[in-house]
Amino acid sequence: MPASKGKSAKSPEPEKTATRRSPCPVACALDIFGDRWTLLVIRDLIFGKSRFKDFLASPEGIPTNILAERLKRLQNYHVVAQVSNSEGSRHLAYQLTEKGRALLPVLVAMKDWGLNWEKDTKVHLN
């Protein structure tokens, strides 16, 4: 793929040194969010979910152990940050970092593709 024009902000390296399959940017991106759950967690964050229990309530039914692992991976890659809950409880919440928010066009493109090419898809969630 051709390199994109313009400057791109490089994020800090993940906390744990990751072994890359290759220097291909597509392969590297897939190492972070290329499974059946991670982009759904990012989708939920974009739509305003922020608590662990909120992610569990999504219609896809992510198992708790997988959700915990995906949130940790996204934190390690600086896609998600853990923050204090705005409601003042002792429970923590999650929010997208700048790097995570940069995935919005990817999700929009995937949504548009799904609506265009996959019968019986719809946008409404909850």
Q: Residues 54-76: pLDDT tens digits?
A: 999 999 999 999 999 999 999 99
* Domain spans of the chain, in order of start: 25-117
Q: What angle do CA 38, 21, 13 make, to 5 degrees?
A: 65
pTM over 0.75: yes
Q: Which fold has domain 25-117?
A: Arc Repressor Mutant, subunit A (1.10.10)
Q: Residues 70-105: pLDDT tens digits?
A: 999 999 999 999 998 876 778 899 999 999 999 999
What is the DSSP annotation of 45-106? HHTT--SHHHHHTSTT---HHHHHHHHHHHHHTTSEEEEE-TT--S-EEEEE-HHHHTTHHH
How high is the pLDDT of residue 89?
74
How high is the pLDDT of residue 5?
46
Q: Residues 2-42: pLDDT tens digits?
A: 444 444 556 555 554 467 889 999 999 999 999 999 999 99
Please check whether residue 96 is in contact with residue 80, taking contact to mean a CB–CB distance below 8 angstroms. yes
